[in-house]
Amino acid sequence: MLAPKDLFNLEGLTHAGLFAGLEFVWEALGKIEAYTRQVVEEAGPNAGPLRGHGEVLPRTVVIVDGRIYEDGFELLGGDPTKGKLRVRLQGREVGKVSVIHAGAALMDELIHIAPGAVIEPGALIKGPSFIGPNSEVRQGAYLRGGCLIGAGCVVGHTTEIKNSAMLDGAKAGHFAYLGDSILGREVNLGAGTKLANLKIVDRPFRVKLGETVHSIERRKFGAIMGDGCETGCNSVTNPGTILGPRCLVAPCQAVPGGYHPPRSVIR
């Protein structure tokens, strides 16, 4: 009941390899940084050449087929998460193009920005970080490393992420904190949602399922949210929270740590 397949649909998932061979879903938390480093190296870190201009980009660039263009293009708009990003390059529209806006800060070479992704001004990214296809990293976002972003995701304005994975279609659009956490497919965090990851009292995390209590020896454990979960604005999950698929959390709610079955309504 607490294996990765119990919380996530792994078929066709961009980063299903993160969960390979795991008995319990929380075991993935200890793999995120190494796995992110691996997929960045396999895909080819493409932040290195951009950093030649300085850690903060002085001008907007696009990447097409692995080549960086500093001019000769026009941004035509469109929602990247819906695959509608449009760019005209040298007189013709091109697909599978990444856009990194002036003012974005790339603090490490171990960063991969996949085709279709957009990095807005003021976003700061440390490595290793993988920004998946058709994902959007908005102004003021802070990716502190070990950030595994799937396809069609949103890392929103002033959202902070560290050692966390966002699976395909997950969105943390506004003022969120994700520490040592995993968001399943199409999870949506309401504005101001915080996934707290550190207990005030240093004790093992306890997850009860039926008559079985699992003791998890981790210093930090945020939230693991199954596919389709949603949180209301200004909600907080306590450290060590696991939400089954399609749980709903009311606004301003403090979610108790531990396991919550699928389709729970927490209010």
Active-site residue list: 174
Q: Are 211 and 228 in contact (CB under 8 A)?
A: no
Q: What are the Cα distances from residue 240, in Å, to 95, 102, 229, 259, 265?
A: 41, 38, 16, 8, 18
Q: DSSP for 182-240?
A: EE-TT-EEPTT-EE--B-SS---EEEEETTEEEEE--SB--EEE-TT-EE-TT-EEPTT
| Helix, strand, coil abundance in the chain, percent, nearest 5 | 10, 35, 50
Q: What are the Cα distances from residue 13, in Å, to 17, 173, 192, 229, 237?
A: 9, 21, 27, 17, 25
Distance of CA 77 to the CA centre of its chain: 23
> What's the CA gap between 60 and 210, in Å, rounded?
54
Bridge-based pairing of strands 223-225 and 182-183 is parallel
Distance of CA 173 to the CA centre of its chain: 11
How many CB atoms lie under 10 A from the CB of residue 110? 17
| Sheet bearing 73-77, strands edge to edge | 73-77, 86-89, 92-94
